[in-house]
């Protein structure tokens, strides 16, 4: 029990580190599996790490923004019966092996005050209640154009300092994906973390399982092509 509390606290700390005005860098790879058991057999430490379950839904806004390689989304997560809402922004992917993106996530459960994301989008209304944020995005020219939902098992593996998420979503080409993520404060640090993830793939022979496209990109390909 104490170990689970420690892991959950570590994950929450990592998520909180993203909720800042200056973007952090997300460094991430993902691998496809036929089942959760297949993932556990490939990396035995996963079974004990993925100790928390999350239900989520996500709406993607701004088709032109998305097609330019960026991401704007509103999402809801539910963990242990507690629902939280987020507004998320991601810059273009600059990685070569892993996906490397500048990222900002803002908690909007009780509304938002002086939103950095809305400032980046050119909004003059940056302190808003949660219920009108979608309307503000539409006013800014970013309509919602696709949504999806799923369930995750998530955790943290301390020896390698990686966050792990086993994503299960039937809307995607690969309905079971393992996302392996590190966070970085600078572009230079992100490149170091990218090399760490390449070493991780070598260690567990994951290269044939790699999926370059992120879940929203996979959904877009399924819906619009």
Q: Give the pTM.
A: 0.88
Sign of the torsion angle spanned by Cα atoms 185, 188, 189, 193: positive
The CATH number of 2-224, from 2.40.320.10, 3.40.50.720, 1.10.540.10, 1.10.287.1080, is: 2.40.320.10
pLDDT digits (tens, 9 = 90+) for 66-96: 999 999 999 999 999 999 999 999 999 999 9
Q: Classify residue 24 as exposed, middle or buried by CB count within 10 Å of its CB (0-12, 13-18, 19+).
A: buried
Which sequence spans correspond to the domains of the chain?
A: 2-224
Q: Are 144 and 60 in contact (CB under 8 A)?
A: yes
**Whole-angstrom distance, CA of residue 86 vs CA of residue 20:** 13
pLDDT tens-digit readout, 192-224: 999 999 999 999 999 999 999 999 999 999 998
Helix (H) or strand (E) holding 49: helix 46-49
103-161: pLDDT as tens digits: 999 999 999 999 999 999 999 999 999 999 999 999 999 999 999 999 999 999 999 99
């Amino acid at each position: 029990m104490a170990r689970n509390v420690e892991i959950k606290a570590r994950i929450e700390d990592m998520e909180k580190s993203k909720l800042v005005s200056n973007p952090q860098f997300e460094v991430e790879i993902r691998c496809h599996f036929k089942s959760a058991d297949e993932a556990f057999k490939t990396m035995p430490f996963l079974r004990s790490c993925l100790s928390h379950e999350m239900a989520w839904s996500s709406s993607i806004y701004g088709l032109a923004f998305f097609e330019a390689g960026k991401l704007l989304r509103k999402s809801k997560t539910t963990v242990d019966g507690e629902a939280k809402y987020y507004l998320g922004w991601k810059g273009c992917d600059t990685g070569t092996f892993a996906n490397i993106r500048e990222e900002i996530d803002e908690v909007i459960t009780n509304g938002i005050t002086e939103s950095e994301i809305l400032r980046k989008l050119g909004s003059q209304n940056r302190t808003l209640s949660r219920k009108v944020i979608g309307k503000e995005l539409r006013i800014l020219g970013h309509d919602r154009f696709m949504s999806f939902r799923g369930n995750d098992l998530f955790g943290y593996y301390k020896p390698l300092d990686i966050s792990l998420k086993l994503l299960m979503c039937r809307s995607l080409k690969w309905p079971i994906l393992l996302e392996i993520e590190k966070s970085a404060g600078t572009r230079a640090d992100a490149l170091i973390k990218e090399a760490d993830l390449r070493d991780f793939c070598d260690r567990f022979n994951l290269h044939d399982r790699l999926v370059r496209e992120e879940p929203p990109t996979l959904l877009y390909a399924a819906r619009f092509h």
